[in-house]
Amino acid sequence: MCLAIPTRVIEVLNEFEAIVELSGVRKTVSIALVEDVQVGDFVILHVGHALAKLNVEEAKKTLELMAEAGLAVNPEQV
C-alpha cells in the first residue's frame, strides 16, 4: 500500500501537475504535496501523487555505505 517509486519529472504543467516518466511510460501526476518541483528532479510517486523529492546525493552515499559494509569484512573470515 505504501509502495512508491522514483520517477523523473519531464515537464511541470502547473503548480499542481507534472508529467513524469518511468521506463518509457509517461503519466500526468499531482505535485501538490511537494514544493519547488523542477524538470529533471526525481520524485517519489505514490497513488498518483509525488510525495517527496529523491535526494540524488544521499542515494549515492547510501550505496557507498552498503559497499563499504561488505568490503570491511573479509569473506574468508565468515
Partner 1 sequence: MKYVDEFRDGDLAQGIARAIHAEVQAGRRYAFMEFCGGHTHAIARYGIPDLLPEGVRMIHGPGCPVCVLPIGRIDLAIHLALERGVILCTYGDTLRVPASNGLTLMRARARGGDIRMIYSTEDALKIARDNPQREVVFLAIGFETTTPPTAVALLAAEREGLGNFSVLCCHVLTPPAIAHILDSAGSGEAAMLDGFVGPAHVSAVIGSAPYEPFAAGYQKPVVIAGFEPLDVMQAILMLVRQVNSGRHEVENEYTRAVTREGNRRAQAMVAECMELRDSFEWRGLGRVPRSALKLRERFAAFDAEVRYALSYQPVADHKGCECGAILRGVRAPVDCKLFGTVCTPDSPVGACMVSSEGSCAAFYTYGRHRNTE
Which residues of this protein are in contact with partner 1, per CB under 8 A?
1-6, 8, 22-23, 29-30, 32-35, 42, 44, 46-49, 51-52, 54-56, 58-59, 61-63, 65-67, 69-73, 75, 77-78
Q: Which residue shows C-alpha cell 523542477? A: 38
DSSP string across 61-78: HHHHHHHHHHHTS-GGG-
Shortest distance, CB of residue 44 to partner 1, whole angstroms?
Answer: 6
CB atoms under 10 Å from CB of 33, counted, come to 13
Shortest distance, CB of residue 18 to partner 1, whole angstroms?
Answer: 13
